Amino acid sequence: MSDADFSEVDLFGDTVIPRKEGRGRPEHSWSRANSNKVLLAFARGMTVKQAATGIGVSVPTLRKHYSSEVAQREAAAIRFEMVQLSRLNEGAMKGSVSAEKELGRRLDKAKLNALSEQVSNHARPPKPERRGKKEIAQADAESLRGRFEPPAPPPSLLN
């Protein structure tokens, strides 16, 4: 094999663009494959920096060329799961028993996770209110009794 055979794609399957005459790095261009990689990275829970590293660009370049994907970052995992469930449902409707079993298993798992989350949220005691030094000192001063107790309010005047 010659070196020309290896110059078309790199180790990760990305196309290698031969350098043209000119200075600087070539301009990045949007591609469907990179868009899918970015969405999968966000569905997995990766950060923007990790997604940018995954496709071999800087964070500003990712934000510039894949802004719609970055905007969908929060909902990527939910959307990915919904697409999977939809495909399983379509397979089950066509008569696939394995798709029906997998769909049932995933729905049961989702119900169990929701119930577990609900139980764990109710089981935890509420966090105590955090107070600063001044608030603690003020509360201590107001709770004093005895010799240093603040004077009682004067009686009100009656007309």
Structurally, how many domains does the chain consist of? 2
Count of beta carbons in the 10 Å neighbourhood of residue 4 = 7
pLDDT digits (tens, 9 = 90+) for 31-47: 898 999 999 999 999 99
Please report whether residue 148 resides in a domain: no
Q: Is the pTM of this model over 0.85?
A: no
Contacts 24+ apart (CB under 8 A), 92-101: none
Inform me whether the pLDDT recorded for 6 exceeds 50. Answer: no
Mean pLDDT is lowest, of 12-26, 74-88, 120-134, for 12-26
pLDDT digits (tens, 9 = 90+) for 91-150: 999 999 999 999 999 999 999 998 888 888 776 677 788 889 999 998 888 887 777 776
Mean pLDDT is lowest, of 1-10, 29-38, 58-67, 149-158, for 1-10
Looking at the structure, do residues 26 and 50 belong to the same domain, yes or no? Answer: yes
Return the pLDDT at 19. Answer: 64
Looking at the structure, do residues 59 and 93 belong to the same domain, yes or no? Answer: no
Looking at the structure, do residues 66 and 2 belong to the same domain, yes or no? Answer: yes
Question: What average pLDDT does the segment 70-80 reach?
Answer: 89
Looking at the structure, do residues 6 and 59 belong to the same domain, yes or no? Answer: yes
Helices (H), the chain: 3-6, 32-44, 48-55, 59-65, 67-71, 76-93, 97-123, 133-142
CATH for 33: 1.10.10
DSSP 9: B
